[in-house]
Amino acid sequence: MAEPPTYQQATNVPPQGYQPGYPSQQPPYPAQGYPSQGGYPAQPSPNTPLVIPGAAAYPSQPPQQPQQPYLDPQGNPTQNAAETGSAWQDDSGFTGNSFSDKAIRRAFIRKVYLILMTQLLVTCAFIAFFLFYHPANRWVKMNSWFYYLSYATFIVTYITLVCCPSVRRKSPGNYICLAVFTLAFSYMTATISSYYDSEIVLIAIGITAAVCLSITLFAIQTKVDFTLCSGLLFAGSMVLFFFGFACIIVYATIGPNYILRCVYGALAALLFSLFLAYDTQMLIGGRKHELSPEDYIFGALQLYLDIVYIFLIILSFFGGKD
């Protein structure tokens, strides 16, 4: 009688251990074992691109650096050049990389001419008051000390605004200083105008407006760069300065000389017309030198002085009534 099959034969389960005919149970590693270095493989760096089988690898993104504050040539932190439109500016008000944005330039020009028109309106109001209000006209002529006081105020405020960039760029101190300067110089101009007939003053104002408008339009559209003529303007200023001393000596020794006065007035008118063209191109930009958008007070100040000086020079050609 045959013996019944065992449990392993009935269930067709191979016995424990290695049996011939079955696949090898040896691990799929090389016979030599692990490499001699051992340990886990090196971890990839954070900048190593992630490679996915069957997909293109994404390019690695460089780590973003924190934005550093913009520094001027002296190492002082300042505003970003892309926001202000000016790479840097020195204490003299000149820069070689201003107005990179046209919108900044237009806003700067609009602000300067708005300030300039306000100054000219104040000056015209002073002149009209002293011309047509006779008690004020008599008071001005009898109290010359106030003219010299206003002249001293004009000198102090002008030097402060021109030589101190921290003053002319910081609001509201720059507006206050400019207002004091405008009032002092307007009083001086009105005092000088009070010695002339009202018709002559009105004619001089009209001629000044026409001359300044034509020079401004010429300076804007011409290809001639007047900002390169700073040396010529300095030489002309020195000639006019010493020629004025010569006129004073002639006046003290010989007396008034109409021809000498006309020559002096013509030279002064020509010089300040060149200054007006120079300052206009500095304001408009696109030249060798141009003003920073932060110097709107400086730009309005220079244009105002040029225009008023041209008016006084034209007025001197007519001769006073006193």
- What per-residue confidence (pLDDT) applies to 81? 42
Task: Give the C-alpha separation, 302 to 306, whole Å.
Answer: 6
The full DSSP string for 100-134 is: -SHHHHHHHHHHHHHHHHHHHHHHHHHHHHHHH-H
**Alpha-carbon span 71 to 80, nearest angstrom:** 9
Residue 279 is encoded by which pair of tokens? 């300052």
Q: What pLDDT does residue 288 have?
A: 79
State the Cα–Cα distance between residues 295 and 163, nearest whole angstrom: 12
What's the confidence (pLDDT) of residue 85? 43
Q: What is the 3-state secondary structure of 70-81? A: EECCCCCEECCH
Q: Which two tokens stand for residue 303?
A: 């244009």
Return the pLDDT at 44: 58
pLDDT for position 246: 87
- In sequence order, the β-bridge partners of residue 70 are 78
What is the distance between the alpha carbons of residues 158 and 309, in angstroms, rounded to a whole number?
Answer: 15
Contacts for 83-92 with beta carbons within 8 Å, 24 or more apart? Answer: 84/292, 84/293, 84/294, 85/293, 86/292, 86/293, 86/294, 89/292, 89/294, 89/295, 91/165
Burial (CB count within 10 angstroms: exposed 0-12, middle 13-18, buried 19+), residue 200: middle
Best CA proximity match to 123, nearest among 307, 292, 315: 307
- Residue pLDDT, tens place only, 143-174: 888 999 999 999 999 999 988 888 888 888 89
For residue 94, the model assigns a pLDDT of 42
| CA atoms of 301 and 305, how far apart (whole Å) | 6
Sites in the chain below the pLDDT cut of 50: 18, 31, 70, 73-74, 79-99, 322
- Give the separation between CA 79 and CA 63, rounded to whole angstroms: 25
CA distance 125 to 226: 32
Mapped onto helix, strand or coil, the DSSP state of residue 15 is coil
Tell me, what's the pLDDT at 151?
A: 93
| String of DSSP letters for 44-95 | PPTTSPP--TTSPPPPPPPPPPPPPPEE-TTS-EE--HHHHS-S---TTS-B
Q: Domain boundaries in the chain? A: 97-316
